[in-house]
Amino acid sequence: MFKRRNLWSISLIASLFVCMVVLPSWAAVGNFTFVHISDDHTTQTKAAQTISELENPQPILLEPFKTIALPPSFIIDTGDVTEFGSAAVFKLYKDYFKNVDLPLYISIGNHDGTWRSLTYEITQLYGWPYYSFDKNGCHFIVLYSAGFQHPLPAFGPEQLTWLQKDLEKAGKDIPIFVALHHPLSTREFASRYDVDRLLDILRPYNIAIIMYGHGHGANCGKYENFDIVQGGSTYGPGPAGYQVYSIMDGHLRIAYKDQGPEAKATKKMLEKPLAAPTKRYPNISFASPRKGATYSAQVPIKAWIAAGKGEIVSAVVRVDEAEETTALELKAGGSFERLLAAKNLKPGAHNLKLTFKDKDGAEYHKSTFFYIESTRPRVLWRVLTGTASKTTPAVGPDGTIYIGGYDGTVRAYTAPAKSKWVFPTKGMICGEVLTQGDKVYVGSEDTYLYCLNASTGKEVWKFQAEEPIYSSPVSDGKSIYFACGTGAFYSVDAATGKQNWKNTDAGYNIEIKPFLWEGKVYYGAWDTLIYCLNTADGKLVWKQVGHGSSYGGAARYYSPADCGPVVCNGVLFTPDRKYDCALSNANTGETISDLKGIAGVGLSEDGQSVYLRCTTNKLQKVDSTGKTIWSVDVPAGMVPTAPTEHNGVVYVCGNKGTLSAVSASEGKVLWQYETTPSLYVLAGVGASGSTSYVVGLDGSLTALAP
């Protein structure tokens, strides 16, 4: 009897498997409902009230469709769950859900990632800031578009590589829901290429919807043939509410529910089938330019599209988002060739987007990047590390280059582009690596400061702080000074990692690189204040409100907290997020004057002057009174990183990767180079001898020499 029943069971399972294979993709999708909330900005009372509606899930009338959705079975939140980050506020946010017995999936918003990133908390919950899960025959992907300790959105190569593998595993037929915070149309991305790289990965798959937040609006639309829905806001300031997604019999219906006791969603968003499209997205192939290749006199463009004969009627190519596009003459089979004159392009990196249009007006896109050869400067070597980085490259005594990555690794490279070692931590890395003798020191979001052997990358010791470490460590030769997310500031012994002292005067996250001067250490925190401590015992010498925070209003937003200060002839230069730079007496903290429109400051090699990175796209050299010595126009931008002087040359890299080398004595531009294909560079420039090193959010580490 057992054998007979067992064989019957096997036969039944086999039959069901065959049915699953031959049935259309939507047939494997169950009937369910979920809720899309967004932009809660915790501490807002109305947000708590809106979320409380989900405490007892009920069927919801989708009034525009005259159907009743099942009770919600889970929740997706597309970010800005807090106003100002912080573990304490995130705990309050989670308290909003204490009576909500539904799984919750969170994407990080810019308000969650700028002042004290919640990537640490999200990693504890889901394994990493981007992740995926499956529900009822559908695949859900939660992306991380928010900047890491910075408000600008971007997608790093480590996330794009993960996404590609995740989609390949999911398959091309399953309905896929993508959630992220930023709308893909926002101009906050460095360029359209940042978004195009993402869409190139998504296009071959059955993307049901792209969900986002950020704008507090409840609406829907299209972005390059993708259906998109904005989640509104649980608190407003307009009508508070949330999106209701109903999947029933293979159909997706979305309607917005205003906050209130009635279980009905009244605002129609979208209705569509979830079956995979019968017409697949055609494959587009580039023979040239090859991704990441370097060209000199001409760039040959050779590509083709896998489409039916006569189906494609036109093609255009766009380089670096130029407003003018060039029509291309199609050849048989949907291919074309064209030569692009390199003389019209600056030396360095560029992006290219190809768009085909078919006879029905549908468009098909593919993007890539390439480099134009440079003779001044020369590219000594370049490596694509596979991870975004915002850590200023540190150069060891033997010429080894050290960086930290968004993937949580510390990496060491030697010329030419050789990986020396990789050390993994369990959190993203924000601050730069400190080199000292045969040791390197780096802080990680996993709460540890690591001391590693500079030659082997082996751990020597590690010290655990109260919270994630975002600041760059500095040293006076005997002790290492650094801070963490609570505002605690530490001194530990460089040889042993034993704590010398801890100061807790600061009220919130410290992410900058501190500055050491005459037995004192200076830093700003995201609590509006500048601090001066005695390095011997950690006692507070003085504290002062940052100039930008003294205006009132949203004072914490404008804290002196994301570009480290410098001391020049007893004068402390401290830039803040309102782009003011306070000049203060380094001994007393008394304000002397201020400079406007300053994103970052760097000290000259001789310590007698200061370099200012200006929001007006200028680099300035000033004396210790703030008097201008020289000023030069370069694409400096608004990223709060310090200019670097080495061997009489000042280096500053603009927001989107334009590196400028300027004579320190004359203020004359020596050369410029495009280090990234219009993608953000949030790190300073490293230098050794006549060589400069730049790392970008595209994962490139480039070594250049004049």
Question: Tens digit of pLDDT for each residue in 95-134?
Answer: 999 999 999 999 999 999 999 999 999 999 999 999 999 9
Q: Answer whether residue 314 shows pLDDT above 80.
A: yes
The pLDDT of residue 332 is: 62
Same fold, 31-55+62-273 and 284-372: no
Structural domain boundaries in the chain: 1-28, 31-55+62-273, 284-372
Q: Answer whether residue 459 shows pLDDT above 70.
A: yes
**What's the fold here for domain 284-372?**
Immunoglobulin-like (2.60.40)
Rounded distance between C-alpha atoms, residue 522 and residue 503, angstroms: 13
The pLDDT of residue 500 is: 98
Superfamily of domain 31-55+62-273: Metallo-dependent phosphatases (3.60.21.10)
If you compute the radius of gyration of the chain from its CA atoms, what whole number of angstroms results? 27
CB 358 within 8 A of CB 311: yes
Q: Express as a percent the part of the chain with pLDDT over 70.
A: 95
Q: How many CB atoms lie within 10 A of CB 576?
A: 29
Indicate the range of 91-100, 277-286, 430-439, 521-530 predicted with least confidence: 277-286
Which residues have C-beta within 8 Å of that of residue 656, sequence separation ≥ 6?
Answer: 190, 191, 635, 637, 676, 678, 679, 680, 681
The pLDDT of residue 20 is: 39
Mean pLDDT value of segment 509-538: 98
- pLDDT category at 4 given cuts 50, 70, 90 is very low
CB 148 within 8 A of CB 119: yes
Rounded distance between C-alpha atoms, residue 349 and residue 342, angstroms: 12
The edge-to-edge listing of strands for the beta sheet with 218-223 is 131-135, 138-142, 176-179, 207-212, 226-231, 218-223
Q: Which residues partner with 272 through β-bridges?
A: 252
Residue 84: half-sphere exposure toward Cβ, Cα within 13 Å = 15
The pLDDT of residue 343 is: 80
- pLDDT category at 324 given cuts 50, 70, 90 is low
Rounded distance between C-alpha atoms, residue 679 and residue 193, angstroms: 8
The pLDDT of residue 334 is: 65
Q: Answer whether residue 26 shows pLDDT above 60.
A: no
Rounded distance between C-alpha atoms, residue 89 and residue 400, angstroms: 41
The pLDDT of residue 66 is: 97
Mean pLDDT value of segment 236-264: 96
Q: Answer whether residue 135 shows pLDDT above 70.
A: yes
Q: Is 128 exposed, middle or buried (0-12, 13-18, 19+ CB in 10 A)?
A: middle
DSSP 63: G
pTM exceeds 0.75, yes or no: yes
The pLDDT of residue 315 is: 85
Q: Answer whether residue 24 shows pLDDT above 60.
A: no
Q: Answer whether residue 25 shows pLDDT above 50.
A: no
Q: How many CB atoms lie within 10 A of CB 382?
A: 18
Rounded distance between C-alpha atoms, residue 231 and residue 376, angstroms: 49
pLDDT greater at residue 390 or residue 19: 390
DSSP 400: -
The pLDDT of residue 316 is: 87
* Beta pairing class for 598-603 and 669-674: unpaired
Mean pLDDT value of segment 322-332: 67
The pLDDT of residue 11 is: 37
Q: Answer whether residue 533 shows pLDDT above 50.
A: yes
If you average pLDDT over every residue of the chain, what do you get?
Answer: 93
Rounded distance between C-alpha atoms, residue 600 and residue 613, angstroms: 5
Q: Answer whether residue 340 shows pLDDT above 90.
A: no
